[in-house]
Structure 1
């Protein structure tokens, strides 16, 4: 196991670009966040808020500040009601439904909204940014229902819960416990925040939820490509397969970079650097022979998914934007989450294919017609106990069910735009639904990976019990030894739920360092 790293320095937010890895580190509690004390940065934020005040004095009309929202933009708000308009915005959007976001996802949402507002063109105050940092510092996080966003005008309904919590309303998760926000703030001597004229809109009118979920999905997907590669190597070894299907010259003839990288990892795992003149076994089945082609699609997609997500992460995506430098208000549609939607729709399709690949490998491992002499269902029971034991039979059924569900969920969400809000929002992205779908697909793929990993390690050990078996390559031996520190072999039948849940947790935690970048 990789030794724990030293606690990294806090992530300092000053309007500079951050990475998906930064988001994941903060979301998973490995890194704190601080707002830059740099006077230039703080002055830039303050200028936006000051320019907005100037506009109100000189022009008297600013969308979402002196007007209603959306199709109500032509409805003037009386001057005496301007200060209460942000409260009305988060109040009427308090209609979220469904399960609530997990704590790691909620931390990511708060951070992503902060990063956008730190760009300095949203017309917010430094004090608002400090309040958002406070939530992360104290781990007091809004309870956010995950359903209710169409992905334009941004994630309005889920982000209303963030705005409300700052103002002492609704509920928070306070260091793991659910309680009223007002209690959590009062206990720490913090007065509920009073949103300034555009701050409700700036908090809610953006893509923070879909982007935060996308960052977490990306990290899980990137690890799964490596894990699927290692599981494939274990499966090939357990099946006494042909390690030379991954020859370097063969893959130079079809040089998709990610595909080439996967083949190289498999060669190293299987210790197959030089292909003989003719292989003893000509054709393995596609789920092992074509594994680089399946996993490679995901590997080759990771760079452009990262580009889409990091561009969105580091963008100002509310409306309108307040450009104090050039003295203008810019009305547009940056809240539209189309890039996130497309990235998540394609990610869930490519990742579901990993489940399909690993499920087929598991089917080969348990079937005596295809596993080249391994026991039926990879049972580790003694010969006299084999009639009573069924090994991985039910696990393979479960993996097939999880795979089918993952594949069923690959229907793209982005094509289901609905006209909403009196046809003001008449073309929407569905980016948040796509991101939620992607996370569900990833959970199912991790379950299939857990099942196939469990079985493949068992298969490698059973193969080594055969008198004519070739020695297991060193890298695979080391991995199986490390795996056995967590999970025992399957001898007599046992209920496997606990093992599989434990493995899914380890996969989510990226327990094993697999390949160098």
Structure 2
């Protein structure tokens, strides 16, 4: 059985993808089980002794000064979930929901949240049996965590809300029954433990990051194809230039380009055709490299966050209950804003290379890469569409993290907007996929106008992968269908995977 064992400390981005998109089963480690049981015993003692402790025997937010009796604790936890489930908008995708469930389970398995083991096991059983709560994507301020969307995640556990099961959206109660999972009644601290965390923003952002890593590799492949199509100059990628400005992403990008075009007869030397290329060709290492360095930073932040305790209060190993602010999404908000900006730049430069491919005033190719121009428009409007996506990305790249609106009667007076940052980053990446697909298709079209050439070791594989799906465009066709084919090759990883069989593309 393909499975991922969670212990709260060692989950990786690659394992997240296995669970989210490849349906690996999830199993709790034995050590994690012991920690969860110990943490719960501390909470039980607090309730039995009628101690006044925030989140256990008090209300929440501004109601933290309202003491709740032991017999009302169950009602308090249920009320917390149903009152906080007020999300709005399109529903999160299934892989985003699965990731959120996994990350919440992993955080709870660290043993600082006071949840019962059977409650945690219910969440894991839902994940393993494919009961996916319906979660609207909007409604989180990113502090106190992702309260509204995570409440929607919990509803089916109580027999409420809705969930997707076997391809159908059912009531939460019916989905749990069909999957053979018992619904539960939450007890003291459990509702807050389940919803007070950053798992929605981190889930959306982590998946976007993974897709972004694939796209930075695609961007190098696309630019290498364009470089060949335009008879670009190899000298700008000489390692001697990059070693004296040793940013890792820049050095790796220059290496990638040289490796991808190795053996190409289209690539030229300085002065052979022209002395310099335009910035969008000559500065590929500097531009792409900066985005790669940004993604490496974000990946480091994400892998810290997916193995962190992000709820409040925490129950320490010594039996103390500490009220703090680990639910605050600021570390992720800044990171996902950075992710969006980095990916928007890859689309920006790709669209400018697309313009150089189709604009006959900037190259020696047929106008808009088509025979019989005038009768045929060729790639003319592909640049319009790409430009629209790039412009939209510029709007989306405005940082969400610079905004804050006080909540809970000003008790929670600074929030992160991290979930908005994550969703914007995801949307930028979707747009970036299409822009890069457009550049790749145009580059392959331009290459076909060249005569008697050899492509590079890596670009030849990329070109052949595209040509297996899309033919040379002799006369106008329904263009969006051709672009969708190339975008699908990118999304499925076929371009990168095929190229990496002969050339390792590093980021």
Q: Normalising by structure 2, what TM-score?
A: 0.95
CA distance in 1, matches of 2:428, 2:250: 22
Segment of structure 1 superposing worse, 266-275 or 195-204:
266-275
Residue number in structure 1 paired with 2:71: 80
CA distance in 2, matches of 1:235, 1:448: 13
Unaligned runs of 5+ in 1: 1-7
Unaligned runs of 5+ in 2: none
Residue number in structure 1 paired with 2:296: 303
CA distance in 2, matches of 1:192, 1:252: 60
Residue number in structure 1 paired with 2:277: 284
Residue number in structure 2 paired with 1:328: 320
Correspondence 1:5-84 to 2 at 5 A: 9-36=2-29, 38=30, 40-84=31-75
Residue number in structure 1 paired with 2:335: 343
Residue number in structure 1 paired with 2:226: 235
How many angstroms does 1:414 deviate by? 0.4
Correspondence 1:33-432 to 2 at 5 A: 33-36=26-29, 38=30, 40-271=31-262, 279-323=272-316, 325-372=317-364, 374-379=365-370, 381=371, 385-432=372-419
How many angstroms does 1:66 deviate by? 1.5
Q: Root-mean-square deviation (CA), in Å?
A: 1.8
Match of 1:179, SS state, is strand
CA distance in 2, matches of 1:314, 1:189: 30
- Is 1:437 the counterpart of 2:421? The answer is no
Segment of structure 1 superposing worse, 336-345 or 473-482:
473-482
Asked if the contact 2:291–2:345 (Cα under 8 Å) also holds between the matched residues in 1, the reply is no
Asked if the contact 1:243–1:272 (Cα under 8 Å) also holds between the matched residues in 2, the reply is no
Residues 277, 429 of structure 1: CA spacing in aligned structure 2 closer, same or farther, 3 A cutoff? closer
Asked if the contact 2:251–2:289 (Cα under 8 Å) also holds between the matched residues in 1, the reply is yes
Segment of structure 1 superposing worse, 298-307 or 351-360:
298-307
CA distance in 1, matches of 2:412, 2:472: 56
Asked if the contact 1:392–1:455 (Cα under 8 Å) also holds between the matched residues in 2, the reply is yes
Query: Which deviations, in whole Å up to 9, do the C-alpha atoms of 1:166-215 show, x marking residues without a partner?
Result: 11111001122111111111223433111121111001000000111111
- Is 1:493 the counterpart of 2:485? The answer is no
How many angstroms does 1:302 deviate by? 2.3
CA distance in 1, matches of 2:278, 2:114: 59
How many angstroms does 1:224 deviate by? 0.9
CA distance in 1, matches of 2:25, 2:472: 39
CA distance in 2, matches of 1:275, 1:369: 20
How many angstroms does 1:288 deviate by? 0.9
Q: Point out 4+ residue stretches in structure 1 off by more than 3 angstroms.
A: 272-280
CA distance in 2, matches of 1:506, 1:275: 29
How many angstroms does 1:130 deviate by? 1.1
How many angstroms does 1:81 deviate by? 1.4
Match of 1:472, SS state, is coil
Residues 237, 122 of structure 1: CA spacing in aligned structure 2 closer, same or farther, 3 A cutoff? same
Residues 285, 276 of structure 1: CA spacing in aligned structure 2 closer, same or farther, 3 A cutoff? closer
CA distance in 2, matches of 1:101, 1:240: 44
Residues 52, 340 of structure 1: CA spacing in aligned structure 2 closer, same or farther, 3 A cutoff? same
Asked if the contact 1:156–1:205 (Cα under 8 Å) also holds between the matched residues in 2, the reply is yes
Asked if the contact 1:244–1:272 (Cα under 8 Å) also holds between the matched residues in 2, the reply is no
Asked if the contact 2:369–2:379 (Cα under 8 Å) also holds between the matched residues in 1, the reply is yes
Segment of structure 1 superposing worse, 492-501 or 361-370:
492-501
